[in-house]
Structure 1
Amino acid sequence: MGQSPSFPLSKSSPPPLCRRSLSSSMAPPMPALPVPAGSGSIAPFVAPPPARDHTQDLPDEILTLVFASLTPAERNACSLACARWKEVDAATRHRLSLEARALLGDAAPHLFARFTAVTKLALRCARGSGADSLSDEGATLVAAALPSDRLARLKLRGLRQLSDAGLASLVAAAPVLRKLSVASCTFGPKAFVAVLRSCPLLEDLSVKRLRGLTDTSGAVTAITEDILFPPASSLRSVCLKDLYSALCFVPLIASSPNLRSLKILRCSGAWDQPLEVIAARAPGLVEIHLERLQVGDRGLMAVSACTNLEVLFLVKTPECTDAGIISVAQNCHKLRKLHIDGWRTNRIGDHGLMAVARGCPDLQELVLIGVNPTVQSLRMLGEHCRMLERLALCGCDTVGDTEIICLAERCAALKKLCIKGCPVSDRGMGALNGGCPSLVKVKLKRCRGVSYACVEHLKVARGDSFSISLDIVLEHDAGGASENAVQETGQVQITELTGQMAAMDLPTNAAGAQSFAQANSRMRSVMSALRRRFGNPPPM
């Protein structure tokens, strides 16, 4: 009945159409055949030649500049584009960050054979890695492959399997190291003896959250601990942060006579006596940061022996009073930046700030948080500190309109002003319209007495070069029209919460009674906050 196909078909053979489509898609394109004139047929499409890759004309120096402006992820992607880009990237990459797993030691020779220009190396390990992080044996293999003549910066993060010996092997392979940063590692202070011996050019040392520190009870025990640190004449900056017992590093700091910057942040122990030792051994300190430390006026008096001090941060040190600030102001006449977070203890006030005004005429930046200055001290600051350019007043209950008017009249060099949580209003801010001729930026936050109309007026009056921002938190509303709507919304929320409390099931046992009491207490706290925010609800 029907004609059979011209070639046999098997069950496993695809249809002829599939074969033709597969062969046509995989075969190279056929050259176009000449078409006779007048035949009426359409000439076949001929693909244009590939566009010229002009990036091949760029010299390696230009590619290096382009790669230097990219992020690490973008640079990694570009290195996969072609063989030339891969070679240029490898030969010019100075910063390298590696996941410090246990197998890194085996891959290190191939990695550093490719990246020969690395000067900044970061070895990181995630928190959940556990025993899979780099060990001492792996650190030895990495150290053998490091570019020892180039590596200037080393950062270690989360290497919990690395001991004192592992750190010693790494730093021994980096004799020109200038900056070392370690965090969340398990080695102790003795490991840094090898660091100072192997890296005579070390300038910057940062130690955070070490887990291998032993407990020290009292400053005397820590200072006389049997750890002999070699002299670190090149060390310029030391940062200790979140250390359970940072007092064991006092001998290291004391062995750095040329130290310029010292930051001790959130470290346990009594620091008055250690600061006396440090100031006696490193009198050239220029910058000191003390945050959440057990330090008082005795420690500040020791700091005042550093007559070249230019930057002082006192953050949440409740034992410091006006007496310590007065001692610093009387001896540190080069002070340029002063940050004080009084933590609302009211132990630092007008007396200390007036001493700063008299003794620190070069002051350029002053930040007061939880400190309550008045017109008396602010007037002296404006009169004596003629170079004061940046001022921040945060949570100062005594700073109102009178104080802002005083600043507007006295601070001619002021450029940036920040006011947060202070009882100022439009009257005080209006004084900035004609005062502080150098003022270019004002930031207001949680100042409910200042209206947006006042802000807009200042913008128009001072011109385009002036910037001002207002962020009102927990305000009733900026305009009177929407205030009633907000009030009604708050009353509805309170009414709904009251209904929910009424619909609660009473407990049937003691455990339920305790849980219900806790929930009831939390609910009352929420309702009290809503009442303070929106007012009392209407009677039901």
Structure 2
Amino acid sequence: MGHSLSSHSKSTLSSPPRRSRSLSPMSPPPLRLTAPMQIAAEDSGSDSSSSFAPPARDYTQDLPDEILALVFASLSPTDRNACSLACSRWMEVDATTRHRLSLDARAALGNAAPALFARFTAVTKLALRWARGSGADSLSDYGAAAVATALPSGRLSRLKLRGLRQLSDAGLASLAAAAPAIRKLSVASCTFGPKAFVAVLQSCPLLEDLSVKRLRGLPDTAGATTSIAEDIKFPPASSLRSVCLKDLYSALCFVPLVASSPELRSLKILRCSGAWDLPLEVITARAPGLVELHLEKLQVGDRGLAALSACANLEVLFLVKTPECTDSGIISVAEKCHRLRKLHVDGWRTNRIGDFGLMAVARGCPNLQELVLIGVNPTVLSLRMLGEHCRTLERLALCGCETVGDAEIICLAERWAALKKLCIKGCPVSDRGMEALNGGCPSLVKVKLKRCRGVSYECIENLKVTRGGSFSISLDIVLEHDARSASENGAQENGQAQITALTDQMAGMDLPVNAAGAQSSTHTITRMRSVVSALRRRISRRGLNRRAVVRFAEVVGVRIAGCDGLDMIHGEWGPRVGQGRRAPRRRGVVRLGACARAHTIVELGRVTSGKK
């Protein structure tokens, strides 16, 4: 034993040190961040008679299943799927603690459902999605029945269905019958009709949240509501608290369902056809406890807004692109809904909502905390009243308001003491108005300016210095139409000169070629010239003030991957290294800089290449 130790020490003194993967008895085992597995130690000596060290210890075995489950819960679905394949214990812990499951709802899912739900017994949130370009049929009624049979009864609380084009009313009814504890149901791009929701309400008495988007099985009613109400009898939805109807060409057929929900608190009707004045009267009369209402791109007018006066508890109101609404409708809401906290109005530049409606809001809604005005034209009159009466107003956004100038910003600085966040977009304000914020709005912590050409960067820097480090302000003065008028201000000519210089620099590079010399450097430079010429054509056509200027798939055999502002270009050239169509080429990276305003090419970095 002593001889072997001395010979071993001599060999270590005479030969250079070698990295060994064997574990020393006196040193702690190295920390492994890989999956738990036994790592066999290798021979540290040259002869076969050397002893082997014990296998590395798996410290994850000391963790209880509850701690391991918490770790899995913090992982993304992809990482969690990978960890579940590490060992049998991890697979078991993952299966018994996974609460959310998203499945590809192909036709074959019905056959695989029993094995899936036998493994994942703790699932409470299930999503069935079918991709239209997958090339396979979606889940049918037969498959839905098989899934319903395999579902863990009484556990499922959320169900999401996406793109199930072959699922009918019977299929949804079978799924609802197998999950009576569902509290949230979301369906989109499916083909069943409104009658399927009758079975849902009958089978799921605990349903609280219902979202219906882009259904293709709705009847073409052309705005009629009487016949629909007579044909479809929805049972009372006593537990329903939130309903979202989006992108439905005949959403009026769901009016009886919404009206049968006396405990309804949130209602969103987005981009649905039909006249909605009368339906809103019916809904608010039967569900007066509404707290949140979103209306977007609807045919609704002042009559529909007047119906909201029955909802005394209304706190959140969104009116987005409803051109028939005027000051009269806003006044009727403000006179009755005194608890309003958030008001978003997108007037769509119709100039029908202005000072009169906003002054009524100031008088009737003292608890207002957030106000967003898009395409609305307030003046000093309404802004002064809002600042005096709404003492808790903290967030304000003014977008596309033609009447908001320096006088209005000065009014904000003098009257809005509680304002914390301010967003101004596309308004004719200048440095004079922004400088008033130096001494006003003591609670202001964040300002965002966009498309305000009258504000300079010097003014922004002065505001930062004056208000201190806790104050944040950003300015983006790039206009969308600058891309079309770039040639008028000379930006395009400057960009052309920069791109031409880039072409010359790339032509002078020592680009890599293959070892056999089959690809000449002249041919490679020609390819790179073609790439930059394509960049020049694309930028010339679209202008220089555009983000994400180019995104090429293939140009003259050289693949290009662009990024915002042309920060980097990845290129491949030369013959493929290896055999097969997927064999990689020699690769290089051209790193580019982007100007802060115009996002043009300003510098060229070093080219690197190598095999991959």
Report the TM range for the smaller structure's normalisation.
Answer: 0.7 to 0.9
Letter in 2 for 1:350: D
- Residue 47 of structure 1: how far off its partner (Å): 4.8
- Residue 220 of structure 1: how far off its partner (Å): 3.7
Aligned equivalent of 1:186: 191
Letter in 2 for 1:183: A
Aligned equivalent of 1:288: 293
Letter in 2 for 1:164: D
Pairing partner for 2:180 from 153, 175, 190: 175
Aligned equivalent of 2:330: 325
The higher-RCO structure (CA 8 Å, 6+ apart) is: 1
CA separation in 2, counterparts of 1:204 and 1:111?
Answer: 27
CA separation in 1, counterparts of 2:329 and 2:196?
Answer: 35
- Residue 362 of structure 1: how far off its partner (Å): 0.2
Contact 1:388–1:414 (8 Å) recurs in 2: yes
> Superposed, which structure 2 residues align to 1:9-408 within 5 Å?
35=4, 42=11, 44=47, 46-129=51-134, 132-221=137-226, 224-408=229-413
CA separation in 1, counterparts of 2:437 and 2:276?
Answer: 42
CA separation in 1, counterparts of 2:90 and 2:480?
Answer: 56
Contact 2:225–2:252 (8 Å) recurs in 1: no
Letter in 2 for 1:248: C
CA separation in 1, counterparts of 2:455 and 2:8?
Answer: 87
Tell me: CA distance 1:226–1:526, structure 2 relative to 1, closer, same or farther (3 Å): same
Q: SS state of the match for residue 206, structure 1? A: strand
- Residue 33 of structure 1: how far off its partner (Å): 13
Contact 1:130–1:160 (8 Å) recurs in 2: no
CA separation in 2, counterparts of 1:346 and 1:249?
Answer: 32
CA separation in 1, counterparts of 2:92 and 2:185?
Answer: 29
Q: Does 1:467 align with 2:446?
A: no
Count of residues in correspondence between the two structures: 465
Tell me: CA distance 1:161–1:491, structure 2 relative to 1, closer, same or farther (3 Å): same
Normalised by the length of structure 1, the TM-score is 0.82
Letter in 1 for 2:90: W
Tell me: CA distance 1:35–1:175, structure 2 relative to 1, closer, same or farther (3 Å): same
Deviation string 1:71-97 (CA, Å, 9 cap, x unpaired) is 111100110111111100101000000
Q: Percent identity?
A: 80
Tell me: CA distance 1:493–1:70, structure 2 relative to 1, closer, same or farther (3 Å): closer
CA separation in 1, counterparts of 2:130 and 2:231?
Answer: 32
CA separation in 2, counterparts of 1:92 and 1:144?
Answer: 21
Tell me: CA distance 1:36–1:149, structure 2 relative to 1, closer, same or farther (3 Å): closer
Q: SS state of the match for residue 132, structure 1? A: coil
- Residue 129 of structure 1: how far off its partner (Å): 4.5
- Residue 225 of structure 1: how far off its partner (Å): 3.7
CA separation in 2, counterparts of 1:120 and 1:347?
Answer: 45
Tell me: CA distance 1:256–1:48, structure 2 relative to 1, closer, same or farther (3 Å): same
- Residue 473 of structure 1: how far off its partner (Å): 1.3
Aligned equivalent of 1:506: none
Q: Does 1:413 align with 2:409?
A: no
Tell me: CA distance 1:315–1:475, structure 2 relative to 1, closer, same or farther (3 Å): closer
Aligned equivalent of 1:423: 428
Q: SS state of the match for residue 304, structure 1? A: helix
Q: Does 1:488 align with 2:490?
A: yes
Tell me: CA distance 1:171–1:220, structure 2 relative to 1, closer, same or farther (3 Å): closer
CA separation in 2, counterparts of 1:283 and 1:368?
Answer: 26
User: What is the alpha-carbon root mean square deviation over aligned residues?
Assistant: 2.7
Tell me: CA distance 1:244–1:33, structure 2 relative to 1, closer, same or farther (3 Å): farther
Deviation string 1:15-49 (CA, Å, 9 cap, x unpaired) is xxxxxxxxxxxxxxxxx998497799856365543
CA separation in 2, counterparts of 1:463 and 1:347?
Answer: 40
Aligned equivalent of 1:458: 463
- Residue 462 of structure 1: how far off its partner (Å): 1.0
Q: SS state of the match for residue 198, structure 2? A: helix
Q: Greater helix percent: which structure?
A: 1
Tell me: CA distance 1:424–1:173, structure 2 relative to 1, closer, same or farther (3 Å): same
Aligned equivalent of 2:444: 439
Deviation string 1:428-464 (CA, Å, 9 cap, x unpaired) is 1111111111111110000111111111111111111
Instruction: Work out which of the two has the higher radius of gyration on C-alpha atoms and give 1 or 2.
Output: 1
CA separation in 1, counterparts of 2:157 and 2:405?
Answer: 51
Contact 1:219–1:271 (8 Å) recurs in 2: no
CA separation in 2, counterparts of 1:186 and 1:476?
Answer: 41
Contact 2:259–2:287 (8 Å) recurs in 1: yes
Tell me: CA distance 1:270–1:81, structure 2 relative to 1, closer, same or farther (3 Å): same
Q: SS state of the match for residue 444, structure 1? A: strand
Deviation string 1:150-208 (CA, Å, 9 cap, x unpaired) is 10000000000100000000000001100000000000000000000000000000000
- Residue 494 of structure 1: how far off its partner (Å): 11
- Residue 221 of structure 1: how far off its partner (Å): 3.4
Deviation string 1:306-340 (CA, Å, 9 cap, x unpaired) is 11100000000000000000000001000000000
Contact 1:222–1:247 (8 Å) recurs in 2: no
Contact 2:288–2:310 (8 Å) recurs in 1: yes
Contact 2:345–2:374 (8 Å) recurs in 1: yes
- Residue 99 of structure 1: how far off its partner (Å): 0.3
Contact 2:213–2:248 (8 Å) recurs in 1: yes
CA separation in 1, counterparts of 2:487 and 2:127?
Answer: 55
Q: SS state of the match for residue 403, structure 1? A: helix
Tell me: CA distance 1:220–1:84, structure 2 relative to 1, closer, same or farther (3 Å): closer
Aligned equivalent of 1:17: none
Q: SS state of the match for residue 180, structure 1? A: strand
Tell me: CA distance 1:169–1:47, structure 2 relative to 1, closer, same or farther (3 Å): same
CA separation in 1, counterparts of 2:459 and 2:288?
Answer: 49
CA separation in 1, counterparts of 2:116 and 2:429?
Answer: 60
- Residue 370 of structure 1: how far off its partner (Å): 0.2
Q: SS state of the match for residue 310, structure 2? A: coil
- Residue 139 of structure 1: how far off its partner (Å): 0.4
Normalised by the length of structure 2, the TM-score is 0.72
CA separation in 2, counterparts of 1:49 and 1:75?
Answer: 30
Letter in 2 for 1:207: V
Contact 2:262–2:287 (8 Å) recurs in 1: yes
Deviation string 1:397-431 (CA, Å, 9 cap, x unpaired) is 00000000001111111110000000001111111
Tell me: CA distance 1:493–1:33, structure 2 relative to 1, closer, same or farther (3 Å): closer
CA separation in 2, counterparts of 1:473 and 1:59?
Answer: 55
CA separation in 2, counterparts of 1:474 and 1:325?
Answer: 32
Residue range with higher mean Cα deviation, 219-228 or 89-98: 219-228
